[in-house]
Structure 1
Amino acid sequence: MAWQSGLPLWLSGGIPSVRPAGRCLGLQLWLKRLLIDIPLSAMALIVLSPLLIGLAVAIRLTSKGPALFRQPRVGLGGSDFMMLKFRTMRIEACDATGLAQVVADDDRVTPVGRFLRATSLDELPQLWNVLVGDMAIVGPRPMVRGQCAAGVEYRKAVPYYDYRHRVRPGLSGWAQANGLRGPTTEIKSAKDRIDHDCAYVQNFSLALDVRIIILTIAREFLTGSGV
Structure 2
Amino acid sequence: MRDILKRGIDIVLSAGALIVLSPTLLIMAIAIKLSSPGPVLFRQWRYGRNGVPFRIYKFRTMRIDACDPTGVRQVTAGDPGVTPLGQFMRSRSLDELPQLFNVLSGDMSLVGPRPHAIGMKAAGVLYEELVPYYALRHAVRPGLSGWAQANGLRGPTTEAQCSRSRIDHDLAYIQNQSLALDIKIIWMTIRSEFLAGSGS
- TM-score, normalising length: structure 2: 0.98
Separation in structure 1 between the aligned mates of residue 196 and residue 157 of structure 2, nearest angstrom? 19
Q: State percent identity of aligned pairs.
A: 64
Q: Which runs of 5+ in 1 are unaligned?
A: 1-26
Note the C-alpha offset of 1:44. Answer: 0.3
The counterpart of 2:77, out of the listed 96, 99, 104, is 104
Q: Deviations over 1:60-117 (max 9, x none)?
A: 0010011111100100000000000000000111101011110100000001100100
Give the structure 2 partner of residue 219 of structure 1: 192
Q: Which has the larger radius of gyration?
A: 1
Alignment root-mean-square deviation, CA:
0.8
State how far apart, in whole Å, the 2-side matches of 1:176 and 1:153 are: 20
1:209 is the counterpart of 2:182: yes
Q: Does 1:64 align with 2:37?
A: yes
SS at match of 1:69: strand
2:120 to 147, 159, 183: 147
1-structure distance, mates of 2:73, 2:161: 19
2:177 counterpart letter in structure 1? F
1:224 deviation in Å?
A: 3.4
For residues 71-82 of structure 1, the aligned pairs below 5 Å read 71-82=44-55
TM-score by length of 1: 0.87
> Corresponding residue for 1:175?
148
Which segment is superposed worse, 82-91 or 217-226?
217-226
Alpha-carbon distance in structure 1 between the residues aligned to 2:195 and 2:86: 17
Alignment size in residue pairs? 200
Deviation at 1:152, TM superposition (A): 1.2
